[in-house]
Amino acid sequence: DKFKDGLTKTRDSFVGKMNDLVKNYRKVDEEFFEELEDILISADVGVHTVMELIDDLKDEARTRNISDAVDIQPVISEKLAELLQKSEDETALKMKDAGLTVILMVGVNGVGKTTTIGKLAHKFKQEGKNVLLAAGDTFRAGAIEQLEVWGERVGVDVIKQQAGSDPAAVMFDAIQAAQSRKADVLLCDTAGRLQNKVNLMKELEKVKRVITREIPDAPHEVLLVLDATTGQNAMSQAKTFGEATDVSGIVLTKLDGTAKGGIVLAIRHELDIPVKFVGLGEGMDDLQEFRADQYVHGLFA
Ligand code: GDP
């Protein structure tokens, strides 16, 4: 069970602390809830989310007459699941039934954007789809080559221009190529330098405009890649990108490398953007569609 394995660090920390809490307190009282609050915050669940969750749990404990700490544990996992599961199918990618689906990948350098593009390309290829990559990060040294390495690894072509060229021009080329080759999916890399926020956002807008000019309902998905190990930084990146462009979903990478997997809850609850995929390792198979029930199960199992 990949999901469960990927959450090992979070689970060990989170569940370990939870079990201690239940052992130490036995009774559900004010102090118990304060400790629980600390545990959730240290797992990066996010202060606002934690506050609401604790209020909810207090209500539930009251109405259900729960006084033993062991009995509140299932209620906690129930509430976490509720928080994540806003609707059943919102995590599915919006794919075109016929014709080209364009997916724009955005995010700051180093979060795992290239790796995620490679993993997604692999997933689509396995589904029998014809996939093409667009090397839209023309700014970062080595970005194009790195994408090509992934292209070779999974067996898909990369549409590119020289380093330093206009990313919008690359997108234009890539869309032409995708259409003439009757590709099913075009995965577009973009630059991720956050040092110059205004320029980056302008560039993203331009890239998006070019795509929409060629295909009016595209991009069909704008996936923001966030690194789970960066905690609250990931939250602020999500806010920045969310202001600049319509992010339709989040890919949360490196969930395997953090004990702070509670960030999933903070993102879902505080930003109202669905987490669509999680990265659980560096390999091409280490990308999983996000499922709230599996996540919660993975935390407690
Ligand atoms: P980019 O700069 O955003 O394109 O980032 P890269 O795709 O180059 O990834 C940066 C590093 O993170 C690389 O060493 C990847 O192997 C690693 N990485 C990416 N995704 C994951 C993941 O889900 N889990 C782990 N453990 N490492 C990852």
* pLDDT (tens digit per residue) in 101-141: 999 999 999 999 999 999 999 999 999 999 999 999 999 98
Residue 180 has pLDDT above 80, yes or no: yes
Give exposure, 239-274, as e/b (b: 16+ Cβ within 10 Å).
ebbeebbebbbbbbbbbbbbbbbbbbbbbbbbbebb
pLDDT at 60: 94
> Residues annotated as binding site?
107-114, 189-193, 253-256
Q: Are 287 and 154 in contact (CB under 8 A)?
A: no
Taking the whole predicted model, whether its pTM rises above 0.80 is answered as yes
Please indicate whether residue 117, judged by its CB atom, sits closer than 6 Å to ligand 1: no
- Tell whether ligand 1 has an atom less than 6 A from the beta carbon of residue 254: yes
Q: What angle do CA 23, 26, 31 make, to 5 degrees?
A: 100
Q: Is the pLDDT of residue 86 over 70?
A: no
Whole-number average pLDDT of the chain: 91
Is the distance from the beta carbon of residue 35 to the nearest atom of ligand 1 less than 6 Å?
no
Residue list, annotated binding site for GTP:
107-114, 189-193, 253-256
Whether the ipTM is more than 0.95: the answer is yes
Position 29, amino acid: D
Residue 113 Cβ contacting ligand 1 at under 6 Å: yes
Ligand 1 atom with minimal separation from the 257 CA: 26
| H-helix or E-strand spanning residue 25 | helix 8-25
- State the Cα angle at 108 between 257 and 239, rounded to 5°: 95
Q: Which residue type, as a one-letter code, is found at position 297?
A: H
Angle 20-255-156 from CA coordinates, rounded to 5°: 160
Q: Is the per-residue pLDDT at 75 higher than 80?
A: yes
275 C-alpha to ligand 1 centroid (Å) = 17
